[in-house]
Amino acid sequence: MVRSQRLLTLIGLLRSHRYPVSGKTLAEKLNVSLRTLYRDIATLQEQGANIEGETGVGYVLKPGFLLPPLMFTEEEIEALVLGARWVAQRTDSQLSNGAQNALNKIAAVLPVELKDILDDTTLLIGPSKESTTDTVDMAEVRQAIRDEKILSIDYRDLKGKYTQRRIWPFALGYFDEVRVLVAWCELRQDIRNFRTDRILSSELIETRYATPRHVLLKQWRATLHESKSSQ
């Protein structure tokens, strides 16, 4: 991890704790020595971060660093919390953690009068039918989409037929019970939808696919529009 990224990660870790957290804990999460951690904290303090604490006691970041107080309406805050709760319950652990970390960052810079709304919102996510289990690393799939990299997958279709595909993933749809990967399929020479619970294995190919992701997404949306128009 480069130092600039490590400093941002350290800020995120401090924001996620309301009370002082030990230097040892922070160093272990960052996979650095205590000496390096102390230097990083000193650097952030020099840049204006209001980090309080000392060796042997722990460190805490006071609100307000980098971002100004965020002004949301009550409905906007409730929408953020509701969305984060949905992600926490309906997606994989990495996205669930990402949703919680995002809320922690927002909470750190909210004006005092709005913090209670964030903590006490009464909008809840109801139970759903048991969702299917993904057999592949969804974090890797999302990274392939972001980096526009090819995936080699073993796939079982609805009829139970097994095929091996090379696909260009560019979108991922989340539903209550399943997730659907949208990709250009080299075998079919067309855009196809793949249920992620039917992907038996996947391998990231370190090659960028030929057509940019935003172009594929535009083409796919056009086909959806044509389909609606013909109904």
Q: CA angle 179-123-177, nearest 5°?
A: 15
How confident is the model at residue 68, as a pLDDT? 47
Specify the pLDDT at position 67.
47
Least confident of 12-16, 90-94, 101-105, 131-135: 131-135
Q: In the numeric block, which tokens belong to residue 23?
A: 């230097």
Kind and range of the H or E run holding 60: strand 58-61
Residue 114 has pLDDT above 90, yes or no: no
C-alpha 163: how far from its chain's center?
30
3-state secondary structure (DSSP) of residue 63: coil
| Three-class DSSP category at 133 | coil
Cα–Cα distance between 223 and 6 in angstroms, integer? 43
Alpha helix segments (H runs only) across the chain? 3-15, 23-30, 34-46, 74-90, 93-109, 112-120, 138-147, 213-229
pLDDT tens for each residue of 145-178: 999 999 999 999 989 999 999 999 999 999 888 8
What are the structural domain ranges in the chain?
3-61, 74-120, 138-229
* The pLDDT value given to residue 70: 54
Q: Any idea what DSSP says for residue 188? A: T
Q: Which residues have C-beta within 8 Å of that of residue 80, sequence separation ≥ 6?
A: 72, 103, 106, 118
Which 3 state secondary structure label does DSSP give 189?
A: coil
Distance CA 24, CA 33 (A): 8
The CATH fold assigned to 138-229 is: SH3 type barrels. (2.30.30)
Q: What is the pLDDT of residues 76-90, one digit of tens each?
A: 888 888 998 889 888
The mean pLDDT of the chain is 86
Does the 3-61 domain belong in CATH 3.20.20.210?
no
Rounded percentage of the chain residues whose pLDDT exceeds 90 = 44
User: Helix, strand, coil shares of the chain as percentages rounded to 5?
Assistant: 45, 25, 30
